[in-house]
Amino acid sequence: MRTLIAFIIQRKMKIDNFIIDKQSKVFVIAELSANHNGSIETAIETIRAAKRAGADCIKFQTYTADTITIDSDKEDFLIKGTIWEGKNLYNLYKEAYTPWEWHKELFKVAKEEGLVCFSSPFDKTAVDFLEELNVPAYKIASFEITDIPLIEYVASKGKPIIISTGIAEQEDIELALDACRRMGNNDIALLKCTSSYPAPIEEANMCMVKDLSERYNVISGLSDHTMGATVPIVATVFGAKIIEKHFILDRSIGGPDASFSMNEGEFAAMVKAVREAENAIGKVDYTLTEKQAKGKDFSRSLYVVEDMKAGDIITDKNVRSIRPGFGLHPKFFNKVLGKSITIDVERGSRFELDSIKL
């Protein structure tokens, strides 16, 4: 019974005033990340722009270079094969981090704008700091999905947890879920993510959105690094209930994440497309709307296409299935062929069953 109850709970999540479940609209997250480029004024204006663009939430990342790595130029700490080629991890994170002393002001601005606001912590000190700010949820970044002690600590706070699966194999996902549930936390969402920057669209694999939800009995969604709105739209069709995209005021300001972040216009267009996709999905329903039913006027039905006298034999020359749809249903056509008509009928008249001798 406990397992069944847990599964029911997992399909519904509340973050601040937003209920996220099968019936809800997609919860759209704008990821600030490093897109403040070292300026709190830019960060504040980015929050306001995210609201204008239709985001439901603004998300930060809470770390320092020292809480996420160490300052080392050894080979292991040099970045290879990405847009940050040649940098060491410490210098990248020193450039990209959001100063902790900004957080209180940024959370205040987000609240004023009516945006949900939370963050991705990268160590226990960040979790403790965010608890002081009373965050309504936590996000576990793709590269932290293997940090089971961190996930356990986050889960112990009893708040919804959104986990990106960018580098995860199935065992990694299951270990992360087990860590949450061991701490009594079943408010879990899994986001399909491709950890490339930017990510190739052919590696998006959006069918995973549906599989994650069904396989693990959780809310599922997308953390997206592709360019454009195509992948978020497809994710919506596959049942995504959370979509996260990196957001920037203007890519020309630069920064580590600028090249794969959406500006205000692009983000607004994506949100509009996602909302339209939600409306297009609809529900399984074979009844017709009033407008659709009116369209049946243009369907086929049986009409007399030559003047006929009483006693004439019905053939495919004098009775045909044509538009409009006000006559007898075409399913009766073979039944009436060869029968004689009992009354005079003018060309263009609806064919009626009571005009023939069966």
Higher pLDDT, 82 or 9: 82
Residues 163 and 218 in one domain: yes
pLDDT band (50, 70, 90) for residue 206: very high
Q: Confidence class of residue 256 from pLDDT cuts 50, 70 and 90?
A: confident
Identify the domain containing residue 328 by its residue range.
Answer: 290-355
Residue 8's pLDDT is 42
Above 90 in pLDDT, residue 263?
Answer: yes
CATH of the domain at 130: 3.20.20.70
pLDDT band at 275 (very low <50, low <70, confident <90, very high): very high
Tokens 């997206």 found at = 224
Mean pLDDT of 326-343: 95
Average pLDDT over residues 232-257: 95
Residues 224 and 345 in one domain: no
- Structure token pair of residue 343: 């009354």
| 70, 94: one domain | yes
Same structural domain, 208 and 334: no
- Rounded to an integer, the average pLDDT of 299-309 is 96
Residues 255 and 160 in one domain: yes
Do residue 102 and residue 143 come from a single domain?
yes
Q: Name the domain boundary from 228, 263, 281.
A: 281
Tell me which of 281, 311, 335 is where a domain ends: 281
Query: 90 pLDDT exceeds 90?
Result: yes
On whether both 125 and 186 belong to a single domain, the answer is: yes
Q: What is the 3-state secondary structure (H, E, C) of the chain?
A: CHHHHHHHHHCCEEECCEEECCCCCCEEEEECCCCCCCCHHHHHHHHHHHHHCCCCEEEEEECCHHHHCCCCCCHHHECCCCCCCCCEHHHHHHHHCCCHHHHHHHHHHHHHCCCEEEEEECCHHHHHHHHHCCCCCEEECHHHCCCHHHHHHHHCCCCCEEEECCCCCHHHHHHHHHHHHHCCCCCEEEEEECCCCCCCHHHCCCHHHHHHHHHHCCEEEEEECCCCCHHHHHHHHCCCCEEEEEECCCHHHCCCCHHHCECHHHHHHHHHHHHHHHHHHCCCCCCCCHHHHHHHHHCCEEEECCCECCCCECCCCCEEEECCCCCECHHHHHHHCCCEECCCECCCCECCHHHECC
- Per the structure, how many domains does the chain have? 2
Same domain, 256 and 296: no
In this structure, are 215 and 319 located in the same domain? no
pLDDT band with cut points at 50, 70 and 90 for residue 16: very high
Confidence of residue 7 (pLDDT cuts 50, 70, 90): very low
Residue 222 and residue 237: Cα distance in Å, rounded?
Answer: 12
Mean pLDDT of 248-257: 90
User: Which of 152, 196, 200, 143 has its CA nearest to residue 172?
Assistant: 143
Decide if pLDDT at 87 tops 90.
Answer: no
Across the range 170-195, mean pLDDT stands at 96
Lowest mean pLDDT among 10-19, 69-78, 261-270: 10-19
Which CATH number covers residue 311? 3.90.1210.10
For residue 211, name the pLDDT band (cuts at 50, 70, 90): very high
Q: Are residues 144 and 186 in the same domain?
A: yes
Do 40 and 7 belong to one domain? yes
Average pLDDT on 196-218 reads 93
Residues 130-137 have a mean pLDDT of: 98
User: Quick one: 304 and 265 in the same domain?
Assistant: no
Q: What is the pLDDT of residue 4?
A: 40
Last residue of a domain, one of 250, 281, 312: 281
Q: How far apart, in whole angstroms, are the C-alpha atoms of residue 217 and residue 215?
A: 6
Over residues 144-159, mean pLDDT: 98
Q: Could you tell me what percent of the chain has a pLDDT over 90? A: 83
Q: Whole-prediction pTM value?
A: 0.88
Average pLDDT, the chain: 93
Query: What average pLDDT does range 316-323 have in this prediction?
Result: 97
Would you state the pLDDT for residue 132? 98
Nearest alpha-carbon partner for 60 in 146, 112, 126? 126
> Average of pLDDT values for 1-22?
70
Structure tokens at 9: 């709970």
